[in-house]
Amino acid sequence: MKPNNKGFTLLELMVVLFIMVLGFSIIGINLSSGNNATEHQRAARDIVSALRYARGMALMSHRETAVTFNLNENSYTVNNRDKVFVIPKTIKVTVVTTQSQLLGQNQGSIRFFADGSSTGGRVSLKRGENQWQIDINWLTGQIELKNN
C-alpha cells in the first residue's frame, strides 16, 4: 500500500512564502517611488482648495478675501490668518498676479471680491519635468488645475 500525501512539504511552503515576500517588496518599491508625484499633486490640490475656500468666503461674507504666497518660505496663507500652509521645498512655486497684488520681494496675492471675481493669475508648481498649473480667471474667479 502506498501512503496518502495530503499535505505540503516544508520546502514547498518556504518557496511559496518567498514568492509572496518578493511580490510584496516589489509592490512596496513601486508605491514608494510614486510618493514624490503624489506629494506634488497633493500640494497643487491643497492650493486649489485654499483658493476655492477664499472665493467662497468672499461670496458669503461680501468682503474681499486673499490667498497670499510667500515664495521665500514656499508657503501661503488665507486672508492673513495665523495658519501658514507650507509647500515642500522640492517644489518650485511661481505666482503670476497683478501689479497691485505684489506685496514685496517674492510675495504676492490672489484676491477674490464679493461678486466672485478676482484679480486673476496663475500659480505654477514645478518639480523636475512635472508641472501643475492653477489658473484663476479674473472675471469669474473660476479656478482650474492642469497637469503639464
Q: Residue 46 pLDDT more than 70?
A: yes
Instruction: Please state the CATH superfamily assignment of the domain spanning residues 38-147 in this structure.
Output: minor pseudopilin epsh domain (3.55.40.10)
Question: How much is the pLDDT for 37?
Answer: 78
pLDDT band at 29 (very low <50, low <70, confident <90, very high): low
Q: Is the dihedral of CA 78, 82, 83, 85 positive or negative?
A: positive
Question: How much is the pLDDT for 32?
Answer: 53
Among candidates 53, 50, 89, 98, which has minimal Cα distance to 71?
A: 89
Nearest 5°: CA angle at 135, between 80 and 44?
65
First vs last Cα of the chain: how many Å apart? 72
Q: pLDDT digits over 60-114, tens only?
A: 999 999 999 999 999 999 986 789 999 999 999 999 999 999 988 899 999 999 9
Asked if residue 127 lies in contact with residue 90, where contact means CB atoms within 8 angstroms, the answer is: yes
Question: How much is the pLDDT for 12?
Answer: 83
Question: How much is the pLDDT for 52?
Answer: 94
Q: In angstroms, how far is CA 93 from the centroid of its own chain?
A: 12
